[in-house]
Amino acid sequence: MGLKVTTTAQDNINVIRKFWEALQQPGPASMQIMTELMDENIDWEVVPLDMKRRGIDEMRQLIEGSWVDSPQDAWHEITNVFASEEWVCLEYTARGTITKELVHLNIEHSPNGQKMEIRAVDVFRMKDGRIASAREYYDHAALMRQLGVETAVKVPGH
């Protein structure tokens, strides 16, 4: 049986900030840092896309795909982070100029330099000082409007 690691809310915030910082710096060294901060059976869900990944190998693919698709001028600003001994909630704003297709997000879109800015929340469950699961939430319809993609959903009376 493995030794249970006792972590505080601040320890968990530190793990997420370290993970987040590495995510912003594409490359093998950052990938190594991130994989060391993940539980080997990590579950990751991008809720607006109904996209689910499990385990370190699938997470590597997800991260590498996001690095390929990220705008050159991508900028992520953390606006709030709070935690308990088991959970961390991270609120942030992502900004950038879309100059290439967003294959990673399953979006067929020919970019022409559109600016995007979305606010998002990621909820992490921590286990023994590592990320055991995560759920990403953001307004996908707002992103599509910014990219000039028409949405099929109409709100009655509007």
Global pTM value: 0.84
Q: Where are the domains of the chain?
A: 9-146
Fold category of 9-146 in CATH = Nuclear Transport Factor 2; Chain: A, (3.10.450)
Phi and psi, residue 45, nearest 5°: -130, 130
Specify which residues 118 forms β-bridges with.
Answer: 94
Single-letter residue type at 23: L
pLDDT by 10s per residue, the chain, length 158: 556 667 899 999 999 999 999 998 989 999 999 999 999 999 999 999 899 999 999 999 989 988 876 666 777 899 999 999 999 999 999 888 877 666 555 566 666 777 889 999 999 999 999 999 999 999 888 888 887 776 555 555 65
Phi and psi, residue 12, nearest 5°: -65, -40
3-class SS of residue 154: coil
